Amino acid sequence: METLVALANLKLEAVRYTRPNIRNYNRLEGSPRSRDFQRNLGMECHDPLWFLCRQWQFGEFQAEDAATASQANVLGTHTSPAEIKTGSRKKYPIDNTIPIETLVEQEVLSPTLQLRAQMGRHLIKLLKRKRIKRYAGILATDFPISRKIEADDKEGLFLSTALSNKIPDGFKIHKRMRSSAFRRWFEKHPDVRKKDHAALLECQREFRRWFRNLYQQPEERKGAWDPARLEYSFGLRSPHETKGVRRLVADQYPGGHLDWKDFDQETNPAGRVSAVLGKPESSVQTFIPTQLKFSGMPHPRLWQMEDSETNFGRIDSSPTSIMNILLAEYGLNYSNDWFVLPYELPVNTICRIEGILLKDVFGQYMFVKPAIKDPETNWQEFAMFHQTERDNATRDQSIFYLTPSIGQKLESEDIERINFVRDEMSNMVWAIEQVVASEAGNGRILKRNLPSIAEFTPVSETAKVRYILGNTVPDNWIPFVPVHKAVGAGQDPKEIRLQRARMPQSTAPRGKILNEVQPVYFLEEEEITKAGVIVSRRFQRTRWLNGKTLLWMGRRKKAGRGEGAANLSFDEIVDISQT
């Protein structure tokens, strides 16, 4: 038998070198005479036999032993973050019943006149429902709404006149309810009957429950807003491996919508795991791979009618339009090489895919590792939906965080809006308070009024000029002057930051954003770009997955509209007639 096999091999070798055998193939490429590829890509043909030749030329008749994936088992490890750590090193647990935007952005409401009246009106409704409305007048007398209103707040003045001690101060009463002072008040009041004490206690419980469900507020003043950078800064802590701890940080969240791409991953310096955090859990999900499809995708076989939604012959690209060329190449050459697997995840879950076990139509199995674990392609570090590794970790940490973020929401008009602009001539930054909160509950536009200056009286009637030490700016222009930053060893002593200041004869800021840091307010200089920054506060309302309606006060940071000029001038001599 071995002799016969040897003779057969010798015969094949003899045929190999005696008969002509063409083993080199050339690639046929068209050479168009014009730059218009419309007709070339159309592949016009008037001979049906030519179709068969072109199919043979493109290898359509050549059988390939290439199996199709019929089943995929995806292995992943899941863990849920349970703690949020703000930039001020405060920690609090994550509440899965509300979206993460609400949890991060919510802040304590300012007790405006409108809020006090709204709470007082609802308390009267509860008293009426419990048939003890007779105590509404007593509450209005003992807890009147007394609020100092600025002269230019017209709507607040009108609301104050309309109330006129008719409604009790609901905010003040609510504050007493939290400390049990309200119960001591009605138990000792001579005009409150003892048999109504139980009804008043029930009103207290319903009143506090109503306010807690209406407005989302933090239990303590531990918000994630970073006043030095005018953005939210926080991090999520969750163990993902037994060898170390990785955490997700979002220290540049401007407000609005929070998604997975807003988080970066870094190594926890402390290397500790909190006891409230759970351990990673393994999950295996089985799917049938589906070929990726998109609008205008070319068919994988030639001479098949297409929908012509994408005209590849009309793609305009310049020598610098690399992305247009890559997109066209992907659509023409590699569009049918991708599959889609709908991997399901619960919200607020950090997932890491360990691998995919594929089964083809021939019954063979193939285990596909993540791209960053392949020893042949690890230098490329290709990953899609991957949290950026900020500290260039050597360990592979291809994780994805499915944020419990909201889809749609309603936003009110700006309750407060500040425009930070650079003034290169004055070498400072101006914080222009354009809108501040009104006592009526909405925002009011500030007028640009110059501070009052004492009238000038010349010393002599013959004087024709006067000396001006310096002019001023409107009251709503708050200056931030550059100062040297207190740096430590090894840092640049030339670094500066912006410090809140005050112009002579001007008033203090009226809004909450510029007043919440006392007594000295520093702002990082690099945060105010040449285009400027606009920071606003507004009410936001949405409906969560469980059908609950959420209402909270949040902030938003966005780019400004360019530089500004206050036209400051010093040491001037002007004509008296001009002043």
The CA radius of gyration of the chain, in Å to the nearest whole number, is 36
How far is residue 556's CA from residue 254's CA, in Å, rounded to a whole number?
6
Single-letter code of the amino acid located at 390: R
pLDDT score for 5: 40
How far is residue 199's CA from residue 535's CA, in Å, rounded to a whole number?
45
For residue 242, give both structure tokens.
Answer: 């037994």
DSSP H or E stretch at residue 79: strand 69-79
Sequence-distant (6+) residues with CB within 8 A of 133 are: 124, 127
Sequence-distant (6+) residues with CB within 8 A of 196 are: 132, 135
For the segment 16-66, what is each residue's pLDDT rounded down to a tens digit?
555 555 555 566 666 767 777 677 666 677 777 877 887 787 777 777 667
How far is residue 243's CA from residue 267's CA, in Å, rounded to a whole number?
11
How far is residue 136's CA from residue 138's CA, in Å, rounded to a whole number?
5
pLDDT score for 379: 55
**With a cut of 50, which residues of the chain have pLDDT below it?**
1, 3-8, 10-12, 15, 241-243, 273-276
pLDDT score for 6: 47
For the segment 333-367, what is each residue's pLDDT rounded down to a tens digit?
777 778 888 889 988 888 888 889 999 888 899 99
Sequence-distant (6+) residues with CB within 8 A of 62 are: none
CA separation (Å) from 434 to 114, 195, 419, 571? 21, 53, 7, 30
pLDDT score for 474: 85
pLDDT score for 373: 66
How far is residue 33's CA from residue 31's CA, in Å, rounded to a whole number?
7
Buried b (16+ CB within 10 A) or exposed e, 553-578: bbbbbeebeeebebebeeeeeeeeee
pLDDT score for 383: 66
pLDDT score for 275: 46
Partners of 575 in the beta sheet? Answer: 465
pLDDT score for 7: 41
Cβ–Cβ < 8 Å for 481, 428: yes
Sequence-distant (6+) residues with CB within 8 A of 333 are: none
Report how many helices (DSSP H) and strands (DSSP E) the chain contains, helices first. 11, 25
How far is residue 157's CA from residue 178's CA, in Å, rounded to a whole number?
30
Report the interhelical angle of 170-178 vs 181-188 (nearest 10°).
Answer: 100
